[in-house]
């Protein structure tokens, strides 16, 4: 399953279909996971971290999990069943997000703030990512997508 990724899906209260929110390896994903966990604990919905190939496959796995939880050998429920991880890498993503939040909170407690350098290391540099993508677009045009 080397071509799988861990997807973050959110089902808000009263909705039926899980909505894809991103992947667990993207910039700021730890913050996103922790924010959705907080919302889930507050009763505003459910968070699913699913190891799969596509969002459609992830939705099928969620449906299967709702019908038969015992069919999934690697699974984790936390926050009173409001946060569910299916797959070993999805379970590790929850632990990684919690650890990143604890490191952030510890730095704020000890230093009174998080420096800009530390912030970029923890959350990524959106400005630099944007500039890098613009430079690549100028260098390579449309990326070989067949534009004029």
* 136 pLDDT more than 80: no
φ/ψ of residue 84, rounded to 5:
-125, 135
Q: What is the pLDDT of residue 4?
A: 86
Reported pTM? 0.72
Residue at 145 is within a domain: no
In a domain, 147, yes or no: no
42 pLDDT higher than 70 = yes
User: Distance between CA atoms of 52 and 47, rounded to whole angstroms?
Assistant: 15
Does residue 146 form part of some domain? Answer: no
Is residue 114 situated within a structural domain? yes
Quote the number of domains for the chain.
1
Domain membership flag for residue 39? yes
* Largest distance between two CA atoms of the chain: 55
DSSP state of 49: E
Confirm whether 31 is domain-assigned.
Answer: yes
Residue with tokens 């399953």: 1
Q: For residue 122, give its domain range.
A: 5-140
Look up residue 111 and give its two tokens.
């230093």
CB 97 within 8 A of CB 30: yes
């Amino acid at each position: 399953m080397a071509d799988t990724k861990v997807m973050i899906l959110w089902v808000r209260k009263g909705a039926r279909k899980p909505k894809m929110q991103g992947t667990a390896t993207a910039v700021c994903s730890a913050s996103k996971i922790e924010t959705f966990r907080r919302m889930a604990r507050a009763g505003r919905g459910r968070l699913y971290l699913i190891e799969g190939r596509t969002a459609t496959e992830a939705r099928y796995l969620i449906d299967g999990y709702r019908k038969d939880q015992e069919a999934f050998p690697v699974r984790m429920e936390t926050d009173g069943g409001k946060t569910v991880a299916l797959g070993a890498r999805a379970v590790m993503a929850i632990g990684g997000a919690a650890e990143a939040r604890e490191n952030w909170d510890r730095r704020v407690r000890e230093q009174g703030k998080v420096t800009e350098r530390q912030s970029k290391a923890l959350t990524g540099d959106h400005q630099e990512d944007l500039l890098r993508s613009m430079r690549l677009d100028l260098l390579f045009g449309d990326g070989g997508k067949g534009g004029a």
